[in-house]
Amino acid sequence: MVELKHITKVFNRNRPDEFTALLDVSLLVRAGKVTVFKGPSGSGKTTLLSIIGAMAKPTSGRVFLEGKEITSLSERFLTEIRRRTFGFIFQQFHLIRGISAIENVMLPATTTGEKHATLRDRALRLLDLFGLSAKARSRVEWLSGGEVQRVAIARALVNNPAVIIADEPTAHLDTRLSMDFLGIMERLNAEGKTIIIASHDPLVYESGMVSRVVEMRDGEIRGPRQSA
């Protein structure tokens, strides 16, 4: 699905505070699997996710999406690819406050030129799937933590992406909500979605559905180069 070849990411290049967040990372993420990146804080998990998800460009190395190189594409094309291929769930969820849950869910598809009615139906169905149809018109700041999380997942799914990318999804959740989250991810994986999670929560990387755990330390992948 996504292949990284010799990826290095350097922040603040040629400045006194230059920092190498990723160093020569090569990796193949297989379609239809659940991959978890684990490692201590600052090990480069988020940076790696943003490169996999076509949000950021590597300093050197090449990124392939389904066999096609996307490293050199312009921002416009990258955005297009990102929108179609990836659904993101952020650590803080980053819902937009002041607007309703359904408007938040529709956000990634707002600019695709799709018909409003079909888009709306799709968003409603997704919210329904997560038991949130009653909250569709509520402003997001009135939602509970668990509801916010599920709205964020619904938003990641609205463009029907092949890959779900989640960065520390359980960091702000209690055990029960974390289990709920993993349950949803398992269901999505069973439907054929590729799932990539960065987490240092044992609950996540020790979960039974995980196909592969990649351990990171200081911007490098540790341990055997397995590919599940």
Contact mark string toward another protein, 31..50, x via CB under 8 A: ---------------x--xx
When CB distances are held under 5 to 8 angstroms depending on the partner's kind, the choice from ligand ATP, Mg ion, another protein, none that residue 82 binds is: another protein
What SS3 string covers 178-192?
HHHHHHHHHHHHHCC
- Closest approach, Cβ 191 to another protein, in A, equals 21
Nearer to Mg ion, 46 or 159 (CB): 46
Please report whether residue 178 would count as binding ligand ATP according to CB under 6 A.
no
**Is residue 43 involved in binding Mg ion (CB under 5 A)?**
no
Q: Which is nearer to Mg ion, 21 or 158 (CB)?
A: 21
Q: Rounded to the nearest whole angstrom, what is the least distance from the CB of residue 226 to another protein in the complex?
A: 26
189 is an interface residue for ligand ATP by CB under 6 A: no
In order, the DSSP letters of 89-138 are E-TT--PPTTSBHHHHHHGGGTTTT--HHHHHHHHHHHHHHTT-GGGTTS
Cβ distance to another protein smaller for residue 100 or 211? 100
Pairing state of beta strands 34-38 and 194-198? Answer: parallel
Range 10-32 burial, b when 16+ CB lie within 10 A, else e: beeeeeeeeebbbeebebebeee
Helix or strand (DSSP H, E) at 157 = helix 145-157
Assess 74 for contact with ligand ATP (CB under 6 A): no
State how far the Cα of 55 lies from the Cα of 16, in Å rounded to an integer: 25
| CB 55 to Mg ion: min, Å | 13
Chain positions contacting ligand ATP, by CB under 6 A: 11-12, 19, 21, 39, 41-47, 200
